Structure 1
Amino acid sequence: MVQRYIRKILEARVYDVAVETPLDEARGLSERLNNRVLLKREDEQPVFSFKVRGAYNKMVQLTDEEKARGVITASAGNHAQGVAIAARELGIKATIVMPKTTPDVKVNNVRRLGGKAVLHGDAFDEARLHSQKLMAEKGLVYVHPYDDPDVIAGQGTVAMEMLRQEGGPINAIFVPVGGGGLIAGVAAYVKYLRPETKVIGVESAESACLKLAMDKGFRDTLDQVGIFADGVAVAQIGEHTWEIAKDNVDEVITVSTDEICAAIKDIFDDTRSVCEPAGALAVAGMKKYVEREGVEGQTLIAIDSGANVNFDRLRHIAERSELGEKREAIIAAKIPEKPGSFKKFCKALGSRNITEFNYRYSDDREAIVFAGVQIKPNNDGRDELLGELKEHLDEVVDLTEDETAKLHVRYMVGGHAPASVDNEVVYRFEFPERPGALMKFLNKLGGRWNISMFHYRNHGAAYGRVLVGLQVAEAERGQVDTFLDEIGYTYYNETGNAAYKLFLG
């Protein structure tokens, strides 16, 4: 099978629209990690993503009859732009079905490139189903974003370039994974020519479909997919991509939102370019691998796969990058409600800087503070801080890994609910973000239970995030999940969350 793909990669036609991107040394990362770190700059493609390679290679090989019929695909961004620019080059009519949540910058670029953008549904799966309906009705040719041999071969040209650009030994190549088109093409080519080089997939912990398949030994579907790294938000690895990956990928590393944000900052520091969350996956995985294995003096390549990021998302990314770099800890602490307590708290921090401090008077006995604290950028920094604080304070809680604390509670600290608020349950929601979405969410939630707390913050992402308190009688608690399942939005029960209990409950 791999031999068949080698020939397809070597014969792939991508350079009518794609460019050979540089393999740049990341000097800052190299010094910090004590390894030679190289970045494959696919963010420098004409549409700021590698996706143009596979899309064009698939479409250039269509028959004249197929080209005359026109093509269709479903995409939330990068593949859509790849299909649009390929269609313009080849004189093919292209219809791209995109979720209504797709950022305007991507929709407008598809239209600028000559593609017909059809907005349908709140999520990719709805757009995909609609695209298949249109394909059947209009006789269009479907261009799959990843699960197609010609698309895989087009993406494999990334590996062909890397091995030509770096003639010396390559110890490991780190590849971002969504549906698997890129890693399948890279793994097939690299393992055939340099079997000693490790090919390591990197996935967001919120959409680790390849790791799921590797762990189980077969393709399975994730129950839930997170959307921060929207470019890789895929619930099931592709069929063709899995056939290659299962035998040629050495391992899969998963990374958190904070680790992705830190990697975006790392790439910016070295290149002065801002990549999208999916584009930074490989660097985030490389850092985790180096820390785990303790390797030094090796040549490591990370594929920077794309730079299609909305400007208004940068605020959220910047906030989370310090946590991802392990330079900041988020803590809650109880201190006596009396003069001098805050000074004692600061003294317990030593020379560390406070990055955030939230407090509101609650009663005359004790106060609970929410604080961000700068720490040493290593694994021991947080443990060292917590140890020192516990020597001086009665109760300290580490909230650094608590998503509810980081997304909501830090902006809501202002005192506990009054005694009149009883039977409160707390849920965290994600819902498609677009004008009017918040009102639609409230309408769906309805007036069945009284809303006792509400926090919403727009992070410039495709999905909005809300923290809601509902007053639900004990006898009705079992009905809540059933009701929320009918609404259809992703939700998490946070009633037992430590940050909620400390500051809001």
Structure 2
Amino acid sequence: MPDRYIKKILEARVYDVAIETPLDEAKGLSERLENRILLKREDKQPVFSFKIRGAYNKMAQLSQAQRDCGVVAASAGNHAQGLAMSAKYLGVKATIVMPKTTPDVKVNNVRRLGGKVVLHGDAYDDAAAYAQKLVKEKGMTYVHPFDDPDVIAGQGTVAMEILRQESGPIDAIFVPVGGGGLIAGIAAYVKYLRPETKVIGVESEDSACLKAALDAGKRVTLDQVGIFADGVAVAIIGENTFEVAKKYVNEVITVSTDEICAAIKDIYDDTRSICEPAGALGVAGMKKYVAREACREKTLIAIDSGANVNFDRLRHIAERSELGEKREAIIAARIPEKAGSFKKFCSALGKRNITEFNYRYSDDNNAIVFAGIQLTSGGNGRDELLKELRDQAYEVEDLTENEIAKLHVRYMVGGHSPKSLTNEVIYRFEFPERPGALMNFLSKLGGKWNISMFHYRNHGAAYGRVLVGMQVPDSERAQVGEFLSEIGYNYWEETDNTAYKLFLG
């Protein structure tokens, strides 16, 4: 198998449109992590992503008859732009089926590159199904975003460049994983020439399809896929890509949203460039690996795979980056409802700064405050903070890992529900971010049970996050799950969530 891909990678035709990207040293990260950290800058490609490599190589291998039929693909962004640019260069008509939730910046760029855009469905699976329909009805040639040997070979040219650019020992290469095209190409080439170099996949913990497949020993479909790192939001690893990965990938590391945001900031600090969430996975995984292995003076490479990020997502990324770097903690604390209590609480924090403080009067005895606290002692800082406050007789709850606290509660006002409110249940939702989606959601939800609480905040992503309270009689609780499943949005019940109980319940 590797021989087959080595030949394909060496013969891959990518440089008509792609460039050989630099392998830059990240001096700040190198100093902090006490290792030599190199970034493979695929964000510098003409379409700001490595996807141009695989898309063009596949297009270059097509026969004239296949090209004459026109090409079609389903994509939420990066593959679409790579294919559109490749088709324009080769004089081929390209149709790109994109979900209706795709941000305008990506849709407009595909059109600018000459691609015909068809908006269909709310998710990638909907777009992919429609693309296959066009193949059957119009005889168009389908170009898969990752599960194709020629696409894999195109992505493998990243590894060919790395081994040429860094002649010394490479201890590990950290590769973002979605459908697996990039890591398959890199692993096949690296393991053939330098088998001692580790190839480590990095996935978002809520879309870890490769890790799930490796754990199960076969390809599996995830029940739900998180959408923060939309460039790798894939429910099942590719068939061709898994065949390579299971033999040549050393391990897979999963990272959280906060850790991804921290990695975006790390890359910005060293390069002054802003990568997309999927593009920062390699750095996020590398940081976890270094902390786990306590390695020093090693040469470690992370693939900065892309920079197609909406400007309005930067607010959310900035808010979460300090949490991901373990430089901030979010806590709930009970303090006496009397003059001087806030000052005394600040004094108990020592030299730490308060980054956020939310409070609303509750009763005459105690107040429960929502606070963000700056940490100064790295990974152990949060435990030290909680211990110090508890030693001073404060009742404290750690909400740093609580998604409701981070996504909703910190932005909500109004305080606890009145005692007259009964039978309240709480659900957290993700719904497609497109015109009319919120109204459609409310129309379906509001007709069944009374909505007692609602919070929505736009994060500049393809999906909106909603927190809903509903009054549901005990006798009707069993119906809720059935009803919500019919709506078709991802949801989680949060009635027992600590943050809800402390501030809203």
Q: Which residue of 2 aligns with 1:355?
A: 355
Q: Distance in 1 between matches of 2:226 and 2:488?
A: 15
Q: Distance in 2 between matches of 1:228 and 1:107?
A: 18
Is residue 40 of structure 1 aligned with residue 75 of structure 2? no
Instruction: Give 3-state SS (helix, strand or coil) of 1:373's partner.
Output: strand
Is residue 431 of structure 1 aligned with residue 431 of structure 2? yes
The unaligned stretches of length 5 or more in structure 1 are none
Q: Distance in 2 between matches of 1:201 and 1:361?
A: 48
Q: What is the Cα deviation at residue 394 of structure 1?
A: 3.6
Letter in 1 for 2:283: V
Q: Distance in 1 between matches of 2:360 and 2:415?
A: 6
Distance 1:377 1:414, change over 3 A: farther
Instruction: Give 3-state SS (helix, strand or coil) of 1:296's partner.
Output: coil
1:205-244 per-position Cα deviation (integer Å, ceiling 9, x unaligned): 0100000011111110111000000000000000000000
Within-5 A mapping of 1:395-474: 395-474=395-474
Distance 1:217 1:422, change over 3 A: same
The unaligned stretches of length 5 or more in structure 2 are none
Q: Distance in 1 between matches of 2:394 and 2:408?
A: 25
Letter in 2 for 1:480: V
Q: What is the Cα deviation at residue 376 of structure 1?
A: 2.2
Q: Which residue of 1 aligns with 2:345?
A: 345
Q: Which residue of 1 aligns with 2:160?
A: 160
Instruction: Give 3-state SS (helix, strand or coil) of 2:441's partner.
Output: helix
Q: Which residue of 1 aligns with 2:54?
A: 54
Instruction: Give 3-state SS (helix, strand or coil) of 1:18's partner.
Output: coil
Letter in 1 for 2:215: D
Instruction: Give 3-state SS (helix, strand or coil) of 1:438's partner.
Output: helix
CA contact (8 A) 1:177 1:202 kept: yes
Is residue 149 of structure 1 aligned with residue 130 of structure 2? no
CA contact (8 A) 1:370 1:413 kept: no
CA contact (8 A) 1:359 1:414 kept: no
1:342-382 per-position Cα deviation (integer Å, ceiling 9, x unaligned): 11211111110000000000100110000000002522100
Q: What is the Cα deviation at residue 436 of structure 1?
A: 2.1
Q: What is the Cα deviation at residue 162 of structure 1?
A: 0.2
Q: Which residue of 2 aligns with 1:273?
A: 273
Q: What is the Cα deviation at residue 418 of structure 1?
A: 0.4
1:93-112 per-position Cα deviation (integer Å, ceiling 9, x unaligned): 00000000001010001000
Q: Distance in 1 between matches of 2:121 and 2:286?
A: 35
Q: What is the Cα deviation at residue 424 of structure 1?
A: 0.3
Q: Distance in 2 between matches of 1:394 and 1:373?
A: 15
Instruction: Give 3-state SS (helix, strand or coil) of 1:244's partner.
Output: helix
Q: What is the Cα deviation at residue 481 of structure 1?
A: 0.7
Within-5 A mapping of 1:64-463: 64-376=64-376, 378-463=378-463
Q: What is the Cα deviation at residue 413 of structure 1?
A: 4.4
Q: What is the Cα deviation at residue 20 of structure 1?
A: 0.1
Q: Distance in 1 between matches of 2:220 and 2:135?
A: 26
Q: Distance in 2 between matches of 1:279 and 1:381?
A: 28
1:230-286 per-position Cα deviation (integer Å, ceiling 9, x unaligned): 000000000000000001000000000000000000000000000000000000000
Q: What is the Cα deviation at residue 412 of structure 1?
A: 1.2
TM-score (norm 2): 0.99
Is residue 29 of structure 1 aligned with residue 29 of structure 2? yes
Q: Distance in 2 between matches of 1:65 and 1:413?
A: 62
Q: Distance in 1 between matches of 2:144 and 2:33?
A: 37
Q: Distance in 2 between matches of 1:392 and 1:436?
A: 51
Q: What is the Cα deviation at residue 319 of structure 1?
A: 0.2
Q: Distance in 2 between matches of 1:273 and 1:320?
A: 18
Letter in 2 for 1:335: I
* Stretches of 4+ aligned residues off by more than 3 angstroms: none
Q: What is the Cα deviation at residue 435 of structure 1?
A: 2.0
**RMSD of Structure 2 on Structure 1 (CA):** 0.7
Q: What is the Cα deviation at residue 414 of structure 1?
A: 3.4
Instruction: Give 3-state SS (helix, strand or coil) of 2:352's partner.
Output: coil
Q: Distance in 1 between matches of 2:443 and 2:136?
A: 35
Q: Distance in 2 between matches of 1:25 and 1:105?
A: 30
Between the two proteins, the alignment pairs up a number of residues equal to: 505
Q: Distance in 1 between matches of 2:201 and 2:397?
A: 34
1:184-205 per-position Cα deviation (integer Å, ceiling 9, x unaligned): 0000000000000000000000
Q: What is the Cα deviation at residue 392 of structure 1?
A: 1.7
Distance 1:309 1:89, change over 3 A: same
Percent sequence identity is 79
Q: Distance in 2 between matches of 1:92 and 1:111?
A: 14
Instruction: Give 3-state SS (helix, strand or coil) of 1:67's partner.
Output: helix
Letter in 2 for 1:257: T
CA contact (8 A) 1:170 1:197 kept: yes
Instruction: Give 3-state SS (helix, strand or coil) of 2:501's partner.
Output: helix
Q: Which residue of 2 aligns with 1:497?
A: 497
Q: Which residue of 2 aligns with 1:16?
A: 16
Q: Distance in 2 between matches of 1:7 and 1:443?
A: 56
Instruction: Give 3-state SS (helix, strand or coil) of 2:364's partner.
Output: coil
Instruction: Give 3-state SS (helix, strand or coil) of 1:14's partner.
Output: coil
Q: Distance in 1 between matches of 2:486 and 2:416?
A: 31
CA contact (8 A) 1:413 1:504 kept: no
